Structure 1
Amino acid sequence: MATGTTYGARDHARAQDGRRAAAMPLVPAPDGLVWAETVAGGGYTHKVLARGTELRLADPTGTACAHLLLFAEGRPWERLNVADTVKVQWNAYLGAGRLLLSDQGRVLASLVADTSGRHDTLCGTSSAARNTTRYGDGSAHGGSPAGRELFLLAAAKQGLGPRDLPPSLSFFQGVRVEPDGALEFIGSAGPGTAVTLRAEQPLTVLLANVPHPLDPRPAYVCGPLEVRAKAGAPTGPQDPLWDATPEGRRAFLNTAEHLAARGLR
């Protein structure tokens, strides 16, 4: 179809109506969901989620790497603090029952299910300089975009800027610490794994799906990431997770007190 005229361009654009690509948002989301999207390797996405929302990330091919940032919606100064997430819970390894904490001592999200067990809180995401050295290009719109560059795009669409971006954590590509302190990349648990997060506050979510910085493969390898979210209820005192550890209970109490003062329960 010729697009050299305004009418031709309009007709070409309208002809795309109803077509679907392998990686794209589903709008509206299917029944029972509030967010449904497939993010291509080298892609990113973002969304504001209500408190209690359950966010499921899935790795259908065993090659996705979901780099995640979280912010308290409307208050970007309260954001995911990976260092506090690790040190407060005495554990650098994510899994079901772990909490994602802000630097205010509050819970942003809880990890309620995990069939992968291959995640990372230590390395952050890739940079333009690193990807340029490794793959020849790290720009957001190039053939091997860096996670940091994609986060900048996602952040801008939520009114955030470079100074708002802290270190991220990632799911589906594992890293372990050796006795001598060296970091060992252990890769994926294989295709078909998933993690489910529960939003414990209203959240702004940023996701970048790019290879892990320690991935030793010379090629830029990153498969699709499936994103699904549905409405739910936040963790309450009746949930075993609330009292699973003294540190977690205190973080939940801090969160409940903060939200109650804002009229959110």
Structure 2
Amino acid sequence: MAAPSTATTAGARDHARAQEAAAEGAGHPRPTYPASARPTPPEGVAAADLVWSETVAPGGYTHLEVAPGTAVRLTDLTGDACAHLLLFHAGRPWERLNVADTVKVQWQAYPTAGHLLLSDQGRALASITQDTSGRHDTLFGTSTRARNAERYGDGDAHGPSPAGRELLALAGAKHGLTRRDLPPSISFFQGYRVDDAGRPRPIGSAGAGAYVTLIAELPLVVLVANTAHPLDPRPDWSCGPLDVVAWHPVPVASGAPSRATTPEGRRALERTAAHLATTRTPAGGDR
């Protein structure tokens, strides 16, 4: 069936609505709104506490802003998702995820539950509280347009093999961020290890249903691109759907693994708590 003509206002309206229907039919659903309407909330989470629920299609992206204490869960629905994540301090975008500091400050290149995601200001942006995957990467960043064009023939954000940096640039633009604001990202669900000879070795995914839960330690802008890892060994671009759900702030228990972290991690948490204490708006007043 021919696409509606856009020569008239009515035709343009019909064309726009047809595009929405085609996107949903091609596996690009819109976020669940309200999030409480999600058919299956995470176990132990009340539907009323959900603030975000979305399935990010292969080659898609999402972005959200969350308050401190908000839980954000990423789930690999088919075992083929690869979530490339960036975090920014909301309202202070010059403070952002620093993957190098995240690795070196905690003496750990392979983060999992109990580890922190650190900023370039020495503060904890988020803590990883749950991880059923264990297949992540802090070393190799995300894919670029030029590299995907070389490997797959196209790296455009709207093409058949979109690059992660292109998708993150689109997500960041929704929050006033430019390409210059995008640091190296961390990726989840497609694991890589460096062997004794210094070569990266893929270890694949943990399979369908694996998830990672983050708790925001500061008010955050969260950017997520779902696209193939830059070192994916397969000759053809491949990626699966990613579930993203967030729920209202939940306290992190004092005995949680992320609170029993390294001395360096504890200092990062202390700096975060001090920052929140000195910037919190007093009750009934303005700053």
TM-score (normalizing by structure 2) = 0.86
Q: Which shifted more, 240-249 or 162-171?
A: 240-249
Q: Does 1:188 align with 2:205?
A: yes
User: In structure 1, what residue type is equivalent to 2:237?
Assistant: Y
Q: Does 1:123 align with 2:140?
A: yes
- Mapping of residues 210-249 of structure 1, within 5 Å: 210-235=227-252, 237=254, 239=256, 241-249=258-266
Rate the CA distance shift 1:130–1:20 in 2: closer, same or farther, 3 A.
Answer: closer
Task: Extract unaligned runs of 5+ from structure 2.
Answer: 37-46, 283-287
Cα pair 1:173 1:188 within 8 Å, conserved: yes
Residue 244 of structure 1: how far off its partner (Å): 2.9
> For each residue in 1:34-88, what CA deviation from the matched residue of structure 2 results, as whole angstroms up to 9, or x when unmatched?
1101111111110111110000000010000000000000111110000000001
User: In structure 1, what residue type is equivalent to 2:259?
Assistant: W
- Mapping of residues 167-178 of structure 1, within 5 Å: 167-178=184-195
- Mapping of residues 155-170 of structure 1, within 5 Å: 155-170=172-187
Q: Which of 102, 120, 123 is 1:106 aligned to?
A: 123
Cα pair 1:96 1:112 within 8 Å, conserved: yes
2:211, 2:63 → 1: CA distance?
A: 18
Cα pair 2:114 2:256 within 8 Å, conserved: no
Residue 243 of structure 1: how far off its partner (Å): 3.1
SS of aligned partner of 1:223: coil
2:182, 2:267 → 1: CA distance?
A: 26
Q: Which of 2, 7, 10 is 1:7 aligned to?
A: 10
Residue 232 of structure 1: how far off its partner (Å): 1.8
> For each residue in 1:2-22, what CA deviation from the matched residue of structure 2 results, as whole angstroms up to 9, or x when unmatched?
8334335445766879x9554
SS of aligned partner of 2:93: strand
SS of aligned partner of 1:100: strand
Rate the CA distance shift 1:13–1:211 in 2: closer, same or farther, 3 A.
Answer: closer
User: In structure 2, what residue type is equivalent to 1:90?
Assistant: W
Rate the CA distance shift 1:257–1:85 in 2: closer, same or farther, 3 A.
Answer: same
SS of aligned partner of 1:166: coil
- Which residue does the alignment assign to 2:40? none
Q: Which of 270, 275, 287 is 1:253 aligned to?
A: 270
Rate the CA distance shift 1:262–1:234 in 2: closer, same or farther, 3 A.
Answer: farther
Q: Does 1:132 align with 2:133?
A: no
Residue 213 of structure 1: how far off its partner (Å): 0.7
- Which residue does the alignment assign to 1:55? 72
> For each residue in 1:208-253, what CA deviation from the matched residue of structure 2 results, as whole angstroms up to 9, or x when unmatched?
0010011111111001000000012354656453233212211110
User: In structure 2, what residue type is equivalent to 1:94?
Assistant: P
> For each residue in 1:149-194, what CA deviation from the matched residue of structure 2 results, as whole angstroms up to 9, or x when unmatched?
1111111111001111000000000000101111111111111100
- Which residue does the alignment assign to 2:165? 148
- Which residue does the alignment assign to 1:263? 280
Size of the aligned set, in residue pairs, is 264
1:240, 1:125 → 2: CA distance?
A: 28
- Which residue does the alignment assign to 1:73? 90
> For each residue in 1:111-155, what CA deviation from the matched residue of structure 2 results, as whole angstroms up to 9, or x when unmatched?
000000000000000001110000000011111110011111111
User: 4+ residue runs of structure 1 moved beyond 6 angstroms?
Assistant: 14-17
